[in-house]
Amino acid sequence: MKKNIYINGLGNISPQETFYKTMGEEVVEAEGAFFACQEPNYKEFIQKKLLRRMSRIIKMGLATAQKALVDANHPPLDAIISGTAWGCVKDTEKFLETILENNEEYLTPTAFVQSTHNTVAGQIALLHHDNCYNMSYVQGYVSFESALIDAMLLFYDNKAKNILVNGIDEQTEKLGILLERLQCANAETAVMGEGAACLILGAEKTPNTYAQLAGASMLYRPKNKASIQQCLEQILQEANLKLEDIDVVLTGNQDQSLEMALFPEAAFSNYKKLCGEYPTSTAFATAIAAQLLKGDSWTKTALGINKKKVQHLLIYNNHQEVNHSIIVLSKVAQ
Partner 1 sequence: MEELIEKLKVQIIKQLNLEDVEPNEIDPEKMLFDADNELGLDSIDALELIVLLDKEYGIKVKSQEEGKSIFQSLVTMAEYILEHQK
Per CB under 8 A, the list member of 100, 106, 207, 257 interacting with partner 1 is 106
Interaction between residue 205 and partner 1 (CB under 8 A): no
Give residue 105's Cα distance to chain centre.
37
Interaction between residue 51 and partner 1 (CB under 8 A): yes
Q: Give least dist CB 46 to partner 1, A.
A: 11
Interaction between residue 41 and partner 1 (CB under 8 A): no
Interaction between residue 48 and partner 1 (CB under 8 A): yes
Residues 6+ apart with CB under 8 A from 7: 199, 200, 201, 209, 210, 211, 212, 213, 286, 290, 329
Interaction between residue 127 and partner 1 (CB under 8 A): no
Interaction between residue 108 and partner 1 (CB under 8 A): yes
Nearest to 54 by CA among 94, 16, 20: 94
Number of residues that bind partner 1 (CB under 8 A): 13
Between CA 104 and CA 109 the distance in angstroms is 13
Give Dmax over CA atoms of the chain in angstroms. 62
Per CB under 8 A, the list member of 28, 33, 40, 53 interacting with partner 1 is 53
Residues 6+ apart with CB under 8 A from 223: none
Q: Smaller CB distance to partner 1: residue 68 or 120?
A: 120
Residues 6+ apart with CB under 8 A from 225: 258
Per CB under 8 A, the list member of 70, 107, 126, 153 interacting with partner 1 is 107
Between CA 121 and CA 242 the distance in angstroms is 36
Residues 235-264 that bind partner 1 (CB under 8 A): none
Interaction between residue 33 and partner 1 (CB under 8 A): no
Which residues would be at the binding site for partner 1 (CB under 8 A)?
Answer: 48-49, 51-53, 102, 105-110, 113
